[in-house]
Structure 1
Amino acid sequence: MPTLDMPDRPHLDSFRRQARALQRAVRAGDPDALARLVRHHPGGALDDPGDFRLSAAQLVVAREYGFASWPRLTRYLETVAEHTWETRLGSAPAADPAEEFCRLACLTYGREDGPARWARARQLLAQHPDLSTANIWAAAAAARTDDVGRLLAERPGLVAERGGPFRWRPLYYLVYSRFDLDVSAERVLAVAGRLLDAGADPNEGYLFDALPSPFTLLTGVFGHGELGQGRQPAHPHWLALGRLLLDAGADPDDAQTLYNRMFEPDDSHLELLFEYGLGTGGGGPWKTRIGDLGTFANMLRIQLRWAIEHHQPGRVRLLAEHGVDFRSPFEGDGPAWSPGDGRTPIELALLNGDTEIAGYLVAQGAEPPGPDPVRELIAAAFRADRPMVDRVRAGHPEALAEARRSRPGLIVWAATQASVETVTLLAELGFDVNAYGRGDAPVEAEWETALHHSALNGDVELTRRLLDLGADPGLRDRRFDATPLDWARHFHQSPTAALLEPLTAPPETGD
């Protein structure tokens, strides 16, 4: 696992300097440098630090950033130099109307995305209806078939030319455009077809601020992401456009699509990608460009874990039907929200009180786990099954203390995934109603409280119950330094904001 984050706009010279600095520090006997060597170099400690070579220092630096070797790091940096998408460009207004239209019309995967931004793009196009006549990137974003066709006829090389505010190629602007959700399929497919016929690459993609998972054309087609489908929707003609790109050779193994679409239970994107061979190929051109991308077998297993933990039985069935391993324990490196903790899929289903998914996995041949009083107690609590909780406690008096020790933030997860009855039961069992945890995944991280999530979700019943149980409305989350009231206001949840406002002290002001 990497121990260092990739810097913004990384350059090979910076990593060369880091390697030389490490070499000098190791030769000088610096304790921190020697510890880095022991942790990341396969040879471990040296008998004579004075013999530490630059190639060894380069290997240590590469591994600190998550790459198996220095050549793999350098190859990645070459890919970054060619394919980086700098998202900061999305917040910088452009003076030229065509450039500004492109900036406003397209998904940026920044905080600016949403209907208000697209409305400004529509207004700008109405004010400058001819802005696409000499600008192929604006013509593509506006899906103007005649302008795209004429510009390509005049200069065929425009199809592969990067331009516009984001330095994208024309087809990318078409696919990421969202300013007109009523645009006709005929126009969109006609523009896409002309660009592909002229030589546009169906596997076009860019690295979002140098992160290794590429945002491809398919990523843009399927949309969604952390801001939700209201602000990052799929393309209005995603099915036809996606099929067109896949028929043209787009690789279905699209890691960023899997991530962006996992938050909602809709599986239509997976159905299309499986139709074209998702998980059966070698990873396509991006796997060649970035050799350290994970395997798709593992990525699909991560999808399986998310689906189990977030009560998505349809996705679990779809993944299992397409050969995704639902028997083996989760092991090895993974995202923080999908750890290699040794649990099997059926254990996770039971732990989250999901008897439907657990029953399906058993019916498909998964082996039920052996007895585990802690898991059984948590699972019973998530089902709000008080009699079972009492039976587990009676037979295993130590189980509750161990559950509280190992899962101190469990009540935060319950506030997003379970019922008011489960939250109440956990509080009665001694789980701290003011504990910090994560609401997006059942892992321990001191991020926010249960009250933050009930406020965000506009759940008045749960918010009232948490307050009755002793939740403190003045607590601030550990990432944004915001109160539950701040969360309610930020996400426009007026019912919970109204409930919390009289209970939340105003922020202190300086003299």
Structure 2
Amino acid sequence: MPIHRLPDNPSIERLRKQAKTLLRYVRAGVPEALGLVTEFHPRAPETLKLSDAQLVTARMYGFASWPRLKEHIATVERYSRSPHRVAPREELPEEFLRLACLTYGTDYPGRTGEADLLLARHPWLPTANVFTMAATGAADALADALVENPGLARAQGGPFEWEPLLYLAYARLDTPGSYLPAARLLLKHGADPNAGFLWDGLTSPFTVLTGAFGGGEGHQPPHPQGPALARLLLEAGADPNDSQTLYNLGLGGSCSDDTAHLQLLMEFGLGLGDGGPWHARLGPTLQSPRQLLRDELATAALRGCPRRARLLLAHGAEVNGLGGHPAYGGRTPYELALLNGHTEVAETLAAAGASAVLDEMEAFTAACMRADPDAVAGFGPEPLARALARSPELISSAAEQRKPAAVRLLAGLGFDVNHLHRSTPLHAAAWNDDIETARTLIELGADPTIKDPAYDSTPLGWAEHGGKQRVADYLRSLGRE
């Protein structure tokens, strides 16, 4: 049996209950429970005890023993932070820092601008403490403070209980600061270039490097001196196998075909080594450096990024390696490229030795997504009828993938341009700030007044919330017309 994924923000009490439940099921003769014992207990006794059930529970999550699992959970608790849950603070320096930094949960447009207003009203804030000095890049004041007390470079404090280097990397202020000199000072006085936290207990660390690069599901902006800051951190020893950076600029972000961050990380050893201090702390819950490369190639195939695919293959990524995230569906990169209509990526992977066999419905989907009307027509009416019945969300996938030609083809085949599941195709175009797809959908009859079921918001609401100005302006113009 495969190793199971440990739940996010794990609780030792929940795992104890899980072990007790396993023991009860084993004693009741439940086949699935007996199978777990056979698979994961190295020397299963005739009569199982609670300690045996705890050992099986630990091993099924990839840990050698129950004490190792407990140690891991203690590590998660030690590094867990929830910056997005921190309430407004009465103390001005604390409130300034709360507003000035990305939190990956409350990063609404204009939020950091509120911190800029506080700076304008209270010019003493940059030198209030070592954390505001770092967030504003007040290098001269920071130099004086560190001469007096070098230990401040690794102190934890402020609203998020972060080290100064984290406030520096996650700050997003309009007022330019001397961030590189400030970062050099902190590193010189002992700041950890691999400092980070576990966001809400999730075991993919948000490191200083993550903050420098930005990105993510909210398309958070990079640090104003991001590339230079990232290089400085890497030169100081930051591990390049930074899983959250890769997610934020890949599967979990806008995933453009830009390769600058990958080239920089590869220069310092992405895909190599032991994964650094965070891998030592979190063990089997973090992907290996090689698996990170597999995931990156799968992401390039899923999202249609040919430059990334070529770079990753040249760097040694396995052409048929499987990505570990559920979004890849257990597909090879080549299958992902074909099924999502990314012809250039598919050709690149085929040239590198990839191959795939698609069944009829998969081949039909691939033809639709690459907007090939002749190939679609060649399948006849039966696959189309099945696709309309079983996969009405295909048109949403085309919109999410920024494929207006595929959207037009699918609409002509009878797919509903207003198909609503989690959202409509127009919501997807709005969130992507993809004006070409948005215009295509409107021309085909998309209704811009439909609200999604989760947030009760129109596509314009999504665009405004995400700061997607081009599509927001376009959708507002429809109302004026």
Does the alignment reach a TM-score above 0.5? yes
Q: Please tell me the residue identity of whatever aligns with 1:314.
A: R
Tell me if the contact between 1:377 and 1:389 (Cα under 8 Å) persists in the aligned partners. Answer: yes
Question: Are 2:78 and 1:85 aligned?
Answer: no
Q: Aligned partners of 1:199, 1:122: CA distance in 2, in Å?
A: 29
Q: Please tell me the residue identity of whatever aligns with 1:496.
A: L
Q: Please tell me the residue identity of whatever aligns with 1:130.
A: W
C-alpha distance after superposition, 1:18-68 (max 9, x if no partner)? 257536744884x9xx577357444599xx999442123324554787767
Q: Aligned partners of 2:234, 2:463: CA distance in 1, in Å?
A: 41
Aligned to 2:123: 129
* Backbone CA RMSD of aligned residues: 3.4
Aligned to 2:349: 361
Q: Aligned partners of 1:44, 1:298: CA distance in 2, in Å?
A: 23
Identity of aligned residues (%): 42
How does the TM-score come out when normalised to structure 2?
A: 0.85
Aligned to 2:379: 392
C-alpha distance after superposition, 1:276-312 (max 9, x if no partner)? 1110111111111001111222222222122122221
Tell me if the contact between 1:451 and 1:473 (Cα under 8 Å) persists in the aligned partners. Answer: no
Match of 1:429 among 413, 416, 425: 413
Partner SS state of residue 291, structure 1: helix
Aligned to 2:365: 378
Partner SS state of residue 247, structure 2: helix
Match of 2:210 among 215, 219, 222: 219
C-alpha distance after superposition, 1:413-445 (max 9, x if no partner)? 012225444224324435455545xxxxxxxxx
C-alpha distance after superposition, 1:231-286 (max 9, x if no partner)? x2111112221111111111111000000111232221111000011101111111
Q: State the 1:95 CA deviation.
A: 1.6
Tell me if the contact between 1:463 and 1:496 (Cα under 8 Å) persists in the aligned partners. Answer: no
Aligned to 2:445: 467
Partner SS state of residue 194, structure 1: helix
Q: Aligned partners of 2:290, 2:233: CA distance in 1, in Å?
A: 23
Q: Aligned partners of 1:111, 1:172: CA distance in 2, in Å?
A: 17
Q: Aligned partners of 2:367, 2:462: CA distance in 1, in Å?
A: 30
Partner SS state of residue 206, structure 2: strand
Aligned to 2:89: 94
Aligned to 1:277: 269
Partner SS state of residue 207, structure 1: strand
Q: Aligned partners of 1:419, 1:177: CA distance in 2, in Å?
A: 35
Aligned to 2:17: 18
Q: Aligned partners of 1:377, 1:16: CA distance in 2, in Å?
A: 45
Aligned to 1:507: none
Q: Please tell me the residue identity of whatever aligns with 1:464.
A: I
Distance of aligned partners of 1:102 and 1:355 in 2 relative to their CA distance in 1, 3 Å threshold: same
Match of 1:496 among 464, 475, 478: 475
Q: Please tell me the residue identity of whatever aligns with 1:412.
A: S
Q: State the 1:215 CA deviation.
A: 0.6
Q: Aligned partners of 1:188, 1:100: CA distance in 2, in Å?
A: 21
Q: Aligned partners of 1:337, 1:134: CA distance in 2, in Å?
A: 45
Distance of aligned partners of 1:473 and 1:203 in 2 relative to their CA distance in 1, 3 Å threshold: same
Listed as ranges, the matches of 1:25-44 within 5 Å are 25-26=24-25, 29=28, 34=30, 37-38=33-34, 40-42=36-38
Distance of aligned partners of 1:60 and 1:407 in 2 relative to their CA distance in 1, 3 Å threshold: farther
Q: Aligned partners of 1:385, 1:5: CA distance in 2, in Å?
A: 42
Distance of aligned partners of 1:209 and 1:66 in 2 relative to their CA distance in 1, 3 Å threshold: farther
Q: State the 1:407 CA deviation.
A: 3.8
Q: Aligned partners of 1:378, 1:181: CA distance in 2, in Å?
A: 49
Q: Aligned partners of 1:430, 1:414: CA distance in 2, in Å?
A: 14
Q: Please tell me the residue identity of whatever aligns with 2:228.
A: A
Which piece of structure 1 moves more, 156-165 or 354-363?
354-363
Q: Aligned partners of 1:352, 1:44: CA distance in 2, in Å?
A: 38
How does the TM-score come out when normalised to structure 1?
A: 0.80
Aligned to 1:337: 327
Which piece of structure 1 moves more, 291-300 or 219-228?
291-300
Aligned to 2:201: 210
C-alpha distance after superposition, 1:297-355 (max 9, x if no partner)? 222222212212222111111111101112x2637xx22212213xx333332333332
Aligned to 1:505: none
Distance of aligned partners of 1:418 and 1:147 in 2 relative to their CA distance in 1, 3 Å threshold: closer
Listed as ranges, the matches of 1:411-426 within 5 Å are 411-417=395-401, 419-426=403-410
Partner SS state of residue 236, structure 1: coil
Listed as ranges, the matches of 1:232-251 within 5 Å are 232-251=220-239
Tell me if the contact between 1:488 and 1:497 (Cα under 8 Å) persists in the aligned partners. Answer: no
Q: Aligned partners of 2:31, 2:221: CA distance in 1, in Å?
A: 47
Tell me if the contact between 1:434 and 1:449 (Cα under 8 Å) persists in the aligned partners. Answer: yes
Q: Aligned partners of 1:41, 1:277: CA distance in 2, in Å?
A: 39
Partner SS state of residue 264, structure 1: coil
Distance of aligned partners of 1:501 and 1:409 in 2 relative to their CA distance in 1, 3 Å threshold: farther
Q: Aligned partners of 1:489, 1:76: CA distance in 2, in Å?
A: 41
Aligned to 1:153: 147
Question: Are 2:158 and 1:180 aligned?
Answer: no
Distance of aligned partners of 1:358 and 1:19 in 2 relative to their CA distance in 1, 3 Å threshold: closer
Tell me if the contact between 2:130 and 2:142 (Cα under 8 Å) persists in the aligned partners. Answer: yes
Match of 1:303 among 278, 285, 296: 296
Tell me if the contact between 2:451 and 2:459 (Cα under 8 Å) persists in the aligned partners. Answer: yes
Q: Please tell me the residue identity of whatever aligns with 2:301.
A: I
Aligned to 1:448: 423
* Structure 2 stretches lacking a partner, 5+ long: none
Partner SS state of residue 206, structure 1: strand
Tell me if the contact between 2:40 and 2:60 (Cα under 8 Å) persists in the aligned partners. Answer: no
Q: Aligned partners of 1:257, 1:117: CA distance in 2, in Å?
A: 22
Q: Aligned partners of 2:334, 2:316: CA distance in 1, in Å?
A: 16
Aligned to 1:316: 309
Partner SS state of residue 327, structure 2: coil
Q: State the 1:73 CA deviation.
A: 2.5
Question: Are 2:155 and 1:168 aligned?
Answer: no
* Structure 1 stretches lacking a partner, 5+ long: 437-445, 503-511
Q: Aligned partners of 1:247, 1:418: CA distance in 2, in Å?
A: 37
